[in-house]
Structure 1
Protein backbone atom coordinates (compact mmCIF):
# COMPACT_ATOMS: atom_id res chain seq x y z
CA UNK A 1 0.00 0.00 0.00
CA UNK A 2 1.12 3.54 -0.68
CA UNK A 3 0.51 6.91 0.88
CA UNK A 4 -0.14 9.67 -1.65
CA UNK A 5 0.27 13.35 -0.81
CA UNK A 6 -0.79 16.37 -2.87
CA UNK A 7 0.29 19.91 -2.06
CA UNK A 8 -0.49 22.57 -4.62
CA UNK A 9 -3.08 24.72 -6.36
CA UNK A 10 -6.63 23.76 -7.30
CA UNK A 11 -8.27 25.07 -10.48
CA UNK A 12 -11.83 24.99 -11.76
CA UNK A 13 -12.47 25.97 -15.39
CA UNK A 14 -9.07 27.70 -15.59
CA UNK A 15 -9.70 29.81 -12.47
CA UNK A 16 -7.59 29.26 -9.36
CA UNK A 17 -9.77 28.24 -6.41
CA UNK A 18 -6.92 28.02 -3.90
CA UNK A 19 -3.17 28.36 -4.27
CA UNK A 20 -2.14 25.71 -1.72
CA UNK A 21 -4.42 22.81 -0.83
CA UNK A 22 -2.94 19.81 1.00
CA UNK A 23 -4.46 16.34 0.94
CA UNK A 24 -3.28 12.82 1.62
CA UNK A 25 -4.72 9.35 1.16
CA UNK A 26 -3.76 5.69 1.29
CA UNK A 27 -4.44 3.65 -1.85
CA UNK A 28 -3.25 0.65 -3.82
CA UNK A 29 -2.97 2.49 -7.16
CA UNK A 30 -2.26 6.04 -8.32
CA UNK A 31 -5.61 6.07 -10.15
CA UNK A 32 -7.53 5.36 -6.92
CA UNK A 33 -5.40 7.91 -5.02
CA UNK A 34 -6.26 10.63 -7.59
CA UNK A 35 -9.94 9.79 -7.23
CA UNK A 36 -9.71 9.98 -3.43
CA UNK A 37 -7.83 13.29 -3.52
CA UNK A 38 -10.33 14.84 -5.94
CA UNK A 39 -13.19 13.77 -3.65
CA UNK A 40 -11.42 15.12 -0.52
CA UNK A 41 -10.67 18.43 -2.23
CA UNK A 42 -14.24 18.97 -3.40
CA UNK A 43 -15.57 18.13 0.06
CA UNK A 44 -13.05 20.41 1.84
CA UNK A 45 -13.87 23.33 -0.47
CA UNK A 46 -17.63 22.82 -0.23
CA UNK A 47 -18.05 21.94 -3.90
CA UNK A 48 -20.55 19.48 -5.36
CA UNK A 49 -19.41 15.97 -6.30
CA UNK A 50 -19.95 16.76 -9.98
CA UNK A 51 -17.80 19.92 -9.97
CA UNK A 52 -14.91 19.95 -12.45
CA UNK A 53 -11.56 20.58 -10.78
CA UNK A 54 -7.92 20.23 -11.76
CA UNK A 55 -4.99 19.39 -9.47
CA UNK A 56 -2.04 20.41 -11.68
CA UNK A 57 0.72 19.75 -9.14
CA UNK A 58 2.55 16.51 -8.47
CA UNK A 59 1.07 13.75 -6.34
CA UNK A 60 3.91 12.36 -4.23
CA UNK A 61 3.97 8.60 -3.56
CA UNK A 62 5.43 7.12 -0.36
CA UNK A 63 5.77 3.39 0.32
CA UNK A 64 4.09 2.33 3.56
CA UNK A 65 5.35 -0.81 5.27
CA UNK A 66 3.14 -2.73 7.65
CA UNK A 67 4.82 -3.45 10.98
CA UNK A 68 2.85 -5.88 13.06
Structure 2
Protein backbone atom coordinates (compact mmCIF):
# COMPACT_ATOMS: atom_id res chain seq x y z
CA UNK A 1 0.00 0.00 0.00
CA UNK A 2 1.26 3.43 -0.90
CA UNK A 3 1.79 5.55 2.24
CA UNK A 4 0.47 8.63 0.43
CA UNK A 5 -2.91 6.95 -0.07
CA UNK A 6 -3.68 6.57 3.65
CA UNK A 7 -5.19 10.07 4.19
CA UNK A 8 -7.31 9.79 1.05
CA UNK A 9 -8.42 6.29 1.98
CA UNK A 10 -9.47 7.47 5.45
CA UNK A 11 -11.30 10.46 3.96
CA UNK A 12 -13.14 8.17 1.56
CA UNK A 13 -14.06 5.81 4.40
CA UNK A 14 -15.31 8.74 6.50
CA UNK A 15 -17.47 9.96 3.64
CA UNK A 16 -18.87 6.47 3.10
CA UNK A 17 -19.63 6.10 6.80
CA UNK A 18 -21.31 9.50 7.00
CA UNK A 19 -23.37 8.90 3.87
CA UNK A 20 -24.44 5.45 5.04
CA UNK A 21 -25.38 6.55 8.55
CA UNK A 22 -27.40 9.59 7.53
CA UNK A 23 -28.97 7.73 4.61
CA UNK A 24 -30.15 5.07 7.04
CA UNK A 25 -31.66 7.73 9.30
CA UNK A 26 -33.53 9.27 6.38
CA UNK A 27 -34.83 5.98 4.96
CA UNK A 28 -35.54 4.26 8.27
CA UNK A 29 -38.89 5.91 8.91
CA UNK A 30 -40.85 5.68 5.66
CA UNK A 31 -39.45 2.43 4.32
CA UNK A 32 -38.40 0.30 7.28
CA UNK A 33 -41.36 0.87 9.59
CA UNK A 34 -39.59 3.09 12.07
CA UNK A 35 -40.65 6.52 13.27
CA UNK A 36 -39.97 9.43 10.97
CA UNK A 37 -37.60 12.13 12.10
CA UNK A 38 -38.82 15.57 12.98
CA UNK A 39 -38.50 18.35 10.43
CA UNK A 40 -35.31 19.84 11.86
CA UNK A 41 -33.61 16.50 12.44
CA UNK A 42 -34.54 15.38 8.94
CA UNK A 43 -33.01 18.55 7.53
CA UNK A 44 -29.83 17.99 9.55
CA UNK A 45 -29.66 14.38 8.35
CA UNK A 46 -30.13 15.49 4.76
CA UNK A 47 -27.36 18.06 5.14
CA UNK A 48 -25.10 15.38 6.62
CA UNK A 49 -25.93 13.12 3.68
CA UNK A 50 -24.94 15.80 1.18
CA UNK A 51 -21.74 16.60 3.08
CA UNK A 52 -20.96 12.88 3.20
CA UNK A 53 -21.40 12.59 -0.56
CA UNK A 54 -19.04 15.52 -1.14
CA UNK A 55 -16.42 14.07 1.22
CA UNK A 56 -16.78 10.64 -0.41
CA UNK A 57 -16.37 12.11 -3.90
CA UNK A 58 -13.38 14.22 -2.87
CA UNK A 59 -11.60 11.36 -1.13
CA UNK A 60 -12.39 8.89 -3.89
CA UNK A 61 -11.18 11.12 -6.67
CA UNK A 62 -7.96 11.96 -4.83
CA UNK A 63 -7.45 8.27 -4.05
CA UNK A 64 -7.91 7.40 -7.72
CA UNK A 65 -5.26 9.97 -8.69
CA UNK A 66 -2.79 8.40 -6.24
CA UNK A 67 -3.27 5.01 -7.91
CA UNK A 68 -2.96 6.13 -11.53
CA UNK A 69 0.00 3.81 -12.06
CA UNK A 70 -2.17 0.71 -12.40
Higher share of residues assigned strand: 1
Larger radius of gyration: 2
Higher share of residues assigned helix: 2
Q: Is the shorter-chain TM-score for this pair beyond 0.5, marking a shared fold?
A: no
TM-score by length of 1: 0.30
TM-score by length of 2: 0.29
